[in-house]
Each structure stands twice: as C-alpha cells, then as structure tokens.
Amino acid sequence: MNTRQRHGGPSLYEKLLGNFQDGSSLHAWDENSQHLFSVMDNIRVILNSRQGAIKHLPDYGLPDLAMIYHHLPASAHLLRQHIASTLLRYEPRLAHIDIQLLANAQDDVLGYELICHLKQSGLVRFGSYFTPDHAVRLQLLGAAEQKAPARQATPQQSLANRTPRST
C-alpha cells in the first residue's frame, strides 16, 4: 500500500509547458513543491490581473490599484476583502484564506500576509507586496509541511531565487 500523500502537483497548463512562470523546470522539484509553486504562481497571476481585463470574466483580478492607493489607509481593508473573495473564487485549490495587513517596511509598499489553507496540502503563508508601479510581488513565507524548499523569504527576495532539488 502506498502511504505517500499526494498533493496534486502542477496545473495542466504547467504540465504542458514543462515549467513554472520563473522558468524553472517541473522536473527539478518534488510533487509537493510542484503543487505549492503552482498555487503560488496562480495567486501571483490573479493578484497582478485587473478586473475588466478579461471580457468573459469581468470580476477576475483586483480593482484598479490607483484608486486603492488614492484612498489609503481606509482602502487597505477593502483591498483585503477583494483579495480574499477573488482568490477563493479563482484558485480552486484554496479551502480558506486569512489575510493580515503587514506593517509597512516602506511607505510606498502595501503588504499583506496571506495565510492559505490548501485543500490537499494544508497551511501555507505568502507575503504579498503591492508596489507603487501597481505590480504585486509574492513570496513564500512558510508551509505547514516543510517538503517545499525550506527558506525564510524577505520582501526583497523574488521567486526567481527558487532553488531546485539536486538530481
């Protein structure tokens, strides 16, 4: 009997491409890490998309960030609600999400900690950082199961710093 727990691996799109958004090969990672990075890549795409950009899915993505920045600090909680509802709708591997506003290390960066409860693999934490150029950076802060590459991310690190397993 196989007692190894399966966590789903990468998405069909990533399987067809053979790599993740950062260019790293799927084969460089174990299945648990593939699943985690797949969810992470999809969350990054959703957070960097703007509502109305996809005609057949007008609510896909977040609202115009210029309006969010214009109405800070009051709009920070509204953005948190938009993030939660959008991710729960468009990332089917999420069971639940808790979002905490992070203390600003930089005045022009709005940060949130995303505490994601994945349906198949448990708890994972991401830092999301909204920059003045309206881009959203996403970093892995930790996972309940340390089968994913163990590292502590800082806001300055990017996902391009992923280190694949040795073959």
Closest CA to 130 of 149, 145, 114: 114
Domains along the sequence of the chain with CATH: 12-149 (3.10.450.40)
pLDDT digits (tens, 9 = 90+) for 28-85: 778 888 888 899 999 999 999 999 999 999 999 999 988 888 888 889 999 999 999 9
pTM of full prediction above 0.85: no
Q: Among the residues of the chain, which ranges form H helices?
A: 12-17, 31-47, 65-70, 75-90
Q: What are phi and psi of 83, to 5 degrees?
A: -60, -50
* 99: its two tokens: 């979002």
